[in-house]
Amino acid sequence: MSRTPIIAGNWKMHLTKRKASALAREIASAQGVRSNRRCYVFPTYVHLDHVRRNLRGSDVKLGAQNCWHKKEGAYTGEISPYMLRDMGVDVVLLGHSERRHVLGESDALIADKVKLALKAKLEVMLCVGEKIEEREAGLTFEVLARQMKALKMVKPGLADRVTIAYEPVWAIGTGAVATPEIAQEAHAEVRRQIAANLGPDVAAKMQILYGGSVTGSNAAELLSQPDVDGALVGGASLTIDKFAPILAAVQGA
Ligand code: PGA
């Protein structure tokens, strides 16, 4: 089963308007027209429109880092997935570990966001991953199974608009990248959970990205694992010098 690899840059709360626009232009030309991989970028909300204009003419997909779980209403400070769609956003990141563990988002809230984002015709990248104490207590698979239940919100026929990012919390921003073996073991479990929620055909097709301290030096080895279908990159996605080698790490790039 061939799954087109995805390399995604999560810019988090970084960059100025000028720097984000310049980086978008650089990525758009570095990415070029490649049939062997896809590239997504996730700027902060206020830079989405500038980045969109600077990606024009490329096949790089524009992503938002979050959305709210209601279409509209009195939710001061929140952003509807319909608003994102309206301004040309393709994909939304949901359940990132910083949303779960710094901002306190629950599995139930994230599941509701998945449901509405798909209804708004966005793609969804659902992030899952265990904390270090959960791994040490042997709870990794249990945590993944619980977080992956959000897939129950995916109606038949919409699964091709969903990707998963496995990001062990202990590897995010720490330099402590998972070994390829640890990543593969967790990705295989994530694929079992996709099958449990949506069936084996969907599981065979759905891309599972690895995230957590990915760099140009470790990307190729991670991507060579059978169930690792791409990378979600934070720190190393903020400059073209660091991001281009990750794009190039996709086989045959
Ligand atoms: P990192 O972040 O690459 O800086 O570890 C990854 C992420 O949080 O998506």
Residue 252 has pLDDT above 70, yes or no: no
How much distance in Å is there from the Cα of 222 to the middle of ligand 1? 15
Atom of ligand 1 nearest to the CA of 214: 3
58-61: long-range contacts at Cβ-Cβ below 8 A with a sequence spacing of 24 or more?
A: 58/27, 58/28, 58/29, 58/31, 59/31, 59/33, 59/34, 60/24, 60/27, 60/28, 60/31, 61/90, 61/91, 61/123
- In tens, the pLDDT along 160-213 reads 999 999 999 999 999 999 999 999 999 999 999 999 999 999 999 999 999 999
Domain boundaries, the chain: 6-248
Decide yes or no: CATH 3.20.20.70 for domain 6-248.
yes
Cα separation, 134 vs 132, whole angstroms? 5
Q: Per-residue b/e over 96-122, b at no fewer than 16 CB within 10 Å? A: bbbbbeeeebeeebbbbbbbbbbebeb
Active-site residue set: 96, 167
Ligand 1 pocket, mutate which of 172, 177, 217, 243 (most atoms under 8 A from CB): 172
Q: For residue 74, give the amino acid letter.
A: A
Alpha carbon of 248 to ligand 1 centroid (Å): 18
Closest to 1 (Cα-Cα) out of 220, 187, 229, 181: 229
Q: Closest Cα to atom 9, ligand 1: which residue?
A: 234
Q: What is the pLDDT at residue 2?
A: 81
Residue nearest atom 3 in ligand 1 by C-alpha distance: 234
* For the CA of 165, the nearest atom of ligand 1: 9
Distance in Å, CA 35 to ligand 1 centroid = 25
State the pLDDT at residue 210: 98
At residue 67, the pLDDT reads 98
The reported pTM is 0.97
